[in-house]
Structure 1
Amino acid sequence: MAASINILGIGSRSAGRTRGAATVTLSSIYDSTSNFKVTAFVLNILTPTLPSFTTSIQWEHLRGLLLADPDFSRPGPIDVIIGADSYGLLVEPEIIRGRTTEPIAQRTLLGWIVLGPVNDSTSSSVRVQHTSIDDKIDLLLTKFREQEELPSDSAPTPEPEEASCEQHFKDTYTRDNNGRYVVRLPFKAPPSSLGDSFAGAKRCLHQLLRRLSTNDSYRELYNEFLQEYETLSHMARATNMDSSRSRFYLPHHGVFRAHSTTTKFRVVFNGSFKTTSGVSINDILHTGAKLQQDTVDVLLWIRRHRLIFTTDVTKMFRQIAVHPDVWALQQILWVDPNNQVVPYYLTTVTYGLSCAPFLAIRVMLQLVEDEGHDFPLAISPLTKGRYVDDIFGGAETLQDLQETARQLQEICQRGCFPLQKWSANVKDALRYVTSESRTDAVSINSEDPNLKFLGLEWNSTEDNFKFTLQTSFHQDVTKRTVLSETESLFDRLGFISPITVKAKAFLQELWLAKLHWDDKLPVQLQEKWLRFQASLSDLSLISLPRWLDLSSTSKVELHGFSDASMLAIVAAVYLRSTSADGTTTVTLVCSKTKVTPLKRLTIPKLELSAALLLAKLM
């Protein structure tokens, strides 16, 4: 199968990219039924011959054992490196030890393996083997590719696992006496496959406490966050520690969010932490279907309405309770006032579990299904104008906008989803929003009307989009920093395509130069990038209208344009709106650019590609 992944070794040195991946069955030389399958990435060279020396020492405690590799003491080629994530599938409990200066024997599915010190003077050199996937680069590339793709018009066919997750939700969700939703975790494998996580989580906690002891403000924020967690009953001290039940302890750490208007600091939990069996809780959970609307669709829906409001759900994930039967599988360790380590249950949907986004969004859709018949004006904001916990509502008249805001608040209250950070582009839009939810709201008469708006900056007074970008000027520019800063040019509607296409073309130039991710750029390329960075300060001069000037009486035309050059292809869509009094406006709806392939095509072929891009955009 295809797989091209950057592999890092000791010192973060690149070991090259994988040539693909293959499923390999490993079996014992003594019993072919003792086997397991792994997915292995393919490299040109794995290691030099191992071991790097020959030893003739015989250890008494190893005599008579059926060794997985009877010739382990003789140098030979290495065919497969088994990662720590698969090690738990291989090992068995029994260990045989000799003296402290001698190796131990570990029983495995393939036979006994030998590891540990070898006191042999013939040892001439040391081989150190360590590899890891450069997942930060892969994450950046994934984000970059997602921004490059247009949203699909048709709903994807659910995969069997997604269908199973959906059915599990329907069969197991309930609501308590207050209307709050209660869900269960959607497992695809039994929790019994989890090993021990307590020791690892405790080790992570002690490392965290050492960091907190050196930073008073960080420690105070951490304590306040978890104290609030407990006060709101989103976590509770663990009781009834039944040793027969599977359990999982999530390590945690703090994250600062400088641009947040509400929660500047939060604690996040690591559901991908491996237990002693090599399996994490995320490994045995369904991820669920992608239910979230694409940002392009949400932004275009918002632009249709003359009057709009924005709000968001307070602590959205944590407003959904998790059934007590699975609390043991989402525990954390923290310290009490006496600095004693104490286990806690997390009692709500926990950010950091792979199923959490699915559960949160699925519950919101279930709320619409359960209560939408009483609040018809709230259905569109919750299905078309919502992006995770941000909700947007729109209308043509002030009266309709006020009623939409009222109905939205009431339907969310029925599901125990409080709303906050209300804002609107017209005075009195929020008159009927109850005072309780406006206590922490962003005032519509705020001295600073600039709000973050799905990655854009929206000025609610002028009702237009603006662009600001915090650029970082690095002394040593690398391909990694260029990709990171290009990805930060978030422009889903293509308002600044003439700028972003230059960054994408520059990235392609770096690929042609065959530079490694952390190689310093040649002087000529570095100067070119710095000039481009300096030009980004002019982005603040650009503003575009948020509203497309649509109304129920408007005559509307869509006009599309496409073109191509040897550098890039482009498509742009404009909306021409003529009102009842004959006034005509033309507004950019969206645009899209793509750099041309490395394999050069003729201009006619590129123009056909641009026309296809335009057809998809329309």
Structure 2
Amino acid sequence: MALQRLENTEKRLMKNPEVRDSYSKTIEQYLEKGYIRKINQDDEKYGKWFLPHFPVIRPDKSTTKTRIVFNASAKHCGVSLNDMIQCGPKLQNELFDVLLRFRRNSVAIVCDIAEMYLRIKVPQDDRPYQQFLWRDVNMTEGKPDVYEFSSVVFGINSSPFQAQFVAQTHAETNRETYPMAAETVLKSTYMDDSMDSVSTEEDGVKLYSQLSALWEKAGMYARKWLSYSVGVLQHIPPEDVVPEVDLHDNSLPSVKTLGVLWKAKDDIFTFKASPIEDDFTYTKRNFLRKIAMLFDPLGFLGPYTIRAKVLLQEMWTAGLDWDDVLSEDLISKAEKWFRELTELSLIEVPKCLRLSNGEIISTYLHTFVDASQDAFGAVVYQRCIYDDGSVSVRLVTAKSKVAPLTAGSIPRLELMGAVLGLRLTLSVTSALEMDGDQCTFWTDSMNVLCWIKAQSRSF
């Protein structure tokens, strides 16, 4: 079975010589760095497992365009390696929380860890279950070599827990020595991406120094540093900065931070979406695939994406199958929605939730909720008052949902919007470490206000 899957991978690689060479080079690098070792096939062992592997090509990546993915979910005799391993509790931070903490202050700084999983060793007794087959790219026949991973493998269900446990335990152990870095690792790191914000350039340089030292002490290497502040970037070695950075003309690139496009030079979030193809077929499957490409964890595109959700609900109620061509009316609505895709690049949301200058006296959250017969939603703003009397208001996040198909009154939908607004605000206060008495909720529904004020036994 393992040999058959290797042959399938080889057939895919033979179709693309560039990917094949990159694949082979990655195996050689793993061998040189000690992540894997070639084992003697004559030493028969009981209790081992061969991991199938295949290439995933990411041309948009500046590093590791061809990634080798090992599939521990592949079954043999009805059982996979992942079936036999406890995945462990979820330790990684919520992406929503990390993005909000990234917006707290004006000086943002991001980096990622090179080959984080591979730098974490696993016990010797567990390594036989992380074997795989490979042979030279010029060989299509003959007995393949057997390799064994000594490190955590991307593709095994327990790997995320192992990586986060190591990183967070290391941060806790060194909290007194590197307090800022430990805080970032524990609260502002998602998998291998660390992204945080501080108030001043001096704190930014300090955070860079502590994070580099903390990761280095764990045997890891922090790379691809980027900051809105050129003053911070000047303290970072050029080889460790994002390649597109040019400090001579203050040229800073636009990068995706956890899937959200961030223009570092202007310190804003924006969006980019490609128009539909000329031969696009209007089916429910294709429409869903296209709208799923819009990644918007903070809800900046809520007024736009909710229209697509409502339209998708109409497709369901029409009784259409996944590959049925839509009716003319639905196609017309879908075309109108698609025409606005190219205009998403005009949307710009300030990254920072406060003004870069001025001392904050007080901070408040204001949550607005509303509903219609088609949908309900909530939006949260942060209002800051400064020592010089100035005031800033920033959009924090938003969320919307389509109205359920079951019959319901508008006041009840307004109440559902209020519940959504409360839950969204609690998530924001938790991420930004704010108190509940700093929050104000707004609704234009007198029914909702009366229901909230009334005693529960009256219902």
C-alpha distance in structure 1 between counterparts of 2:408 and 2:138, whole Å:
70
C-alpha distance in structure 2 between counterparts of 1:557 and 1:586, whole Å:
10
Instruction: Compute the displacement of 1:432 (Å).
Output: 4.3
Task: Give the aligned residue type for 1:449.
Answer: P
C-alpha distance in structure 2 between counterparts of 1:314 and 1:458, whole Å:
21
- Whether 1:541 and 2:341 are equivalent positions in the alignment is no
Give the corresponding residue for 1:233. 34
Does the 8 Å contact 2:251/2:265 carry over to 1? no
Matches within 5 A, 1:514-553: 514-549=319-354, 553=360
Instruction: Compute the displacement of 1:460 (Å).
Output: 0.8
Task: Give the aligned residue type for 2:271.
Answer: F
Using CA pairs under 8 Å that are at least 6 residues apart, name the structure with larger relative contact order, 1 or 2: 2
Instruction: Compute the displacement of 1:470 (Å).
Output: 2.6
Cα distance per residue 1:533-561 (max 9 Å; x no partner)? 11111101110100011675332221111
- Whether 1:491 and 2:292 are equivalent positions in the alignment is no
Task: Give the aligned residue type for 1:607.
Answer: E
- Say which of 245, 255, 258 aligns to 1:443: 245
Task: Give the aligned residue type for 1:300.
Answer: L
Give the corresponding residue for 2:406. 599
Alignment RMSD (CA, Å): 1.9
- Whether 1:309 and 2:103 are equivalent positions in the alignment is no
Matches within 5 A, 1:419-568: 419-433=222-236, 437-438=240-241, 443=245, 445=247, 447=251, 449-473=253-277, 474-549=279-354, 553-568=360-375
Give the 3 Å change call, closer, same or farther, for CA 325–552 of structure 1 in structure 2: farther
Does the 8 Å contact 2:20/2:137 carry over to 1? no
Instruction: Compute the displacement of 1:521 (Å).
Output: 1.8
The structure with the greater share of residues assigned to helix is 2
Does the 8 Å contact 1:418/1:437 carry over to 2? no
Give the corresponding residue for 2:57. 256
Task: Give the aligned residue type for 2:59.
Answer: A
Task: Report which stretch shifted further, 595-604 or 513-522.
Answer: 513-522
C-alpha distance in structure 1 between counterparts of 2:274 and 2:90, whole Å:
31
Cα distance per residue 1:494-551 (max 9 Å; x no partner)? 1110001011111111110111122222233123212211111110111010001167
- Whether 1:577 and 2:390 are equivalent positions in the alignment is no
Give the corresponding residue for 1:290. 90
Does the 8 Å contact 2:359/2:386 carry over to 1? no
Does the 8 Å contact 1:385/1:393 carry over to 2? yes
Q: What residue ranges of structure 2 are gaps of 5+ in the alignment? A: 426-459
Does the 8 Å contact 1:421/1:441 carry over to 2? yes
Does the 8 Å contact 1:318/1:349 carry over to 2? yes
Instruction: Please state whether the residue corresponding to 1:366 is helix, strand or coil.
Output: helix
Does the 8 Å contact 2:298/2:397 carry over to 1? yes
Cα distance per residue 1:226-264 (max 9 Å; x no partner)? 122222211110137543421111111101112212111
Instruction: Compute the displacement of 1:475 (Å).
Output: 2.7
TM-score (norm 1): 0.65
- Say which of 40, 44, 66 aligns to 1:265: 66
Instruction: Please state whether the residue corresponding to 1:374 is helix, strand or coil.
Output: coil
Q: Percent identity, aligned pairs only? A: 34
Cα distance per residue 1:69-95 (max 9 Å; x no partner)? xxxxxxxxxxxxxxxxxxxxxxxxxxx
- Whether 1:224 and 2:25 are equivalent positions in the alignment is yes
Instruction: Compute the displacement of 1:326 (Å).
Output: 1.6
- Say which of 162, 175, 179 aligns to 1:376: 179
Q: Which has the larger radius of gyration?
A: 1
- For these two proteins, the number of residue pairs brought into alignment is 417
Does the 8 Å contact 1:476/1:521 carry over to 2? no
Task: Give the aligned residue type for 2:424.
Answer: L
Cα distance per residue 1:203-232 (max 9 Å; x no partner)? 011122233233322211211221222222
Q: What residue ranges of structure 1 are gaps of 5+ in the alignment? A: 1-199
Give the 3 Å change call, closer, same or farther, for CA 556–375 of structure 1 in structure 2: same
C-alpha distance in structure 1 between counterparts of 2:118 and 2:132, whole Å:
15
Task: Give the aligned residue type for 1:451.
Answer: V
Cα distance per residue 1:183-203 (max 9 Å; x no partner)? xxxxxxxxxxxxxxxxx1100
Task: Give the aligned residue type for 1:227.
Answer: E
